């Protein structure tokens, strides 16, 4: 399906005085149109602008052009990511304490899905997989899982573990199998998620990853 980008000029007035002008700005969009209000929200969010008063969008054109940004990219552990995780009923209190890398998928600048990986040498913990309720069923979860699997594979991870209370069937479909807690490696057992954040009834699942032929030897913090 053809991908679209929006080309536009903008003028932003800040509430504390001053302004910002942009000419011939280009952004990836989902679908084939975006209204001015949505575009204004998008650039404020994309440029992480604060104290924005008025945003004027000028000379907007939609063009057919391949997207420039990867669909899944690293995301900060920030309020937006925490809100998405909390809305999916997943823990957030240990995010900053863990050796966690988060990746996310955005639509028009808004985070639609997120997934995290904590690396422990040749093992890693997949966690914090959440897709916004209104974006589910479109393959975003699958893309996120496949993305962290490929990141893990590239770092020489051999086994991915995860804990889930009610998505066992979901992960089964992605090749994860129920695994006795007693066989979890010590580094995974010691994670905050394993030790306390998930209830004891959470199911441990794992998946063996096929190593690429030229995989590097694995430093202990390869994926952290």
Residue written as tokens 């004891």?
A: 200
Establish if 160 lies at the interface with ligand COA (CB under 6 A).
Answer: no
The residue within the footprint of ligand COA, chosen from 27, 55, 117, 130 (CB under 6 A), is 130
The residue within the footprint of ligand COA, chosen from 75, 141, 147, 207 (CB under 6 A), is 141
The residue within the footprint of ligand COA, chosen from 2, 66, 97, 137 (CB under 6 A), is 137
Establish if 223 lies at the interface with ligand COA (CB under 6 A).
Answer: no
Establish if 211 lies at the interface with ligand COA (CB under 6 A).
Answer: no
Residue 173 structure tokens: 């479909």
Q: How many residues are listed for the chain in this entry?
A: 224
Establish if 164 lies at the interface with ligand COA (CB under 6 A).
Answer: yes
Rounded CA gap, 137 and 144, in Å?
13
Contact in structure between 15 and 52 (CB atoms under 8 Å): yes
Establish if 167 lies at the interface with ligand COA (CB under 6 A).
Answer: yes
| Minimum gap (Å) between residue 169 Cβ and ligand COA | 4
User: Interacting stretch for ligand COA, rule CB under 6 A, among 17-25, 59-67, 139-147, 152-160?
Assistant: 139-147
Site string for ligand COA, 6-45 (x = CB under 6 A): ----------------------------------------
C-alpha to C-alpha distances, 109 to 41, 44, 148, 180, nearest whole angstrom: 8, 9, 21, 40
Q: Write out the residues near ligand COA by the rule CB under 6 A.
A: 88, 90, 127, 129-131, 136-142, 164, 166-167, 169-170
């Amino acid at each position: 399906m053809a991908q679209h980008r929006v080309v536009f000029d903008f003028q932003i007035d800040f509430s504390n005085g001053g302004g910002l002008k942009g000419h011939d700005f280009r952004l990836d969009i989902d679908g084939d149109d975006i209204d001015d209000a949505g575009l204004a929200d998008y650039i404020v969010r994309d440029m992480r602008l604060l104290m924005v008063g008025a945003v004027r969008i000028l000379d907007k054109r939609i063009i057919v052009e391949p997207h420039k940004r990867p669909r899944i990219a690293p995301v900060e552990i920030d309020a937006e990511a925490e809100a998405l995780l909390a809305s999916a009923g997943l823990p957030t209190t240990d995010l900053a304490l863990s050796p966690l890398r988060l990746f996310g998928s955005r639509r028009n600048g808004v985070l639609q899905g997120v997934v995290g990986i904590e690396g422990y040498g040749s093992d890693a913990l997949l966690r914090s997989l959440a897709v916004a309720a209104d974006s589910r069923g479109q393959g975003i979860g699958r893309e996120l899982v496949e993305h962290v699997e490929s990141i893990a594979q590239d770092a020489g991870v051999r086994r991915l573990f995860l804990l889930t209370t009610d998505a066992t069937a979901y992960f089964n479909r992605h090749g994860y199998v129920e695994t006795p807690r007693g066989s979890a490696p010590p580094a995974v057992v010691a994670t905050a998620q394993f030790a306390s954040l998930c209830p004891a009834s959470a199911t441990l699942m794992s998946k063996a990853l096929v190593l690429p032929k030229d995989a590097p030897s694995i430093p202990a913090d390869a994926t952290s």
